[in-house]
Amino acid sequence: MRQPWVGKKVFVVLCGVVIVAATCFAQKSTATTTHPKKKSAKKTRIAKAKKRGQQKIDNSRIEAIQEALIRENYLKGEPSGSLDNATQQALQKYQGDHGWQTKVVPDSRALINLGLGPDHDHLLNPETAMTSTPAKPHAQPAADQSDGQSQQTH
């Protein structure tokens, strides 16, 4: 025959084991998060972002832009070679008058229109080299059918 106190005793022991196991598991999981991690011997590098592209306009280029803006009556005075407020305003007005963006950064179309486009001196045949986009093709004229015959390839 079973005694009633034995079942209660087993139940209490099992609950105690579960509580002890849960406490041990909780201590292990919090112990790993509260302690600082060991640093590896490998040094970590912080990568600096490289600046790409042209960062500022060269003074000689600014002077050429100023000369072109003076020639086009958008700027008065002598070219200084520095991107001053008057040059910025003249460039913005020139670009705005032509329907281009009006940022301080020169629009490539504005530079080409001012005669400051890319240099083609390095080309072997600058007269015939395709250095710009081709013109849109025109509509082909209708074949001459005055004699009543169409042209055929043989």
Task: Report the candidate in 117, 82, 78, 112 with the shortest Cα–Cα distance to residue 95.
Answer: 112
Local structure of residue 49 (DSSP, 8 states): P
pTM: 0.47
Q: What is the pLDDT of residues 32-82, one digit of tens each?
A: 555 566 665 566 666 677 888 777 888 999 999 999 999 999 999 999 999
Q: pLDDT: is 131 or 108 the higher one?
A: 108
So where are the chain's domains?
59-113
Q: What is the pLDDT of residues 79-120, one digit of tens each?
A: 999 999 999 999 999 999 999 888 878 888 888 889 888 776
Burial (Cβ within 10 Å: 0-12, 13-18, ≥19) of residue 144: exposed
What pLDDT is stored for residue 96 in this prediction? 92
Judge whether 116 and 97 are in contact, CB under 8 Å: no
Q: From the CB of residue 14, how many other CB atoms can be counted at a distance below 10 Å?
A: 10
- Alpha helices in 35-119, H assignment, sequence order: 59-71, 85-97, 108-113
| pLDDT of 136 higher than 60 | no
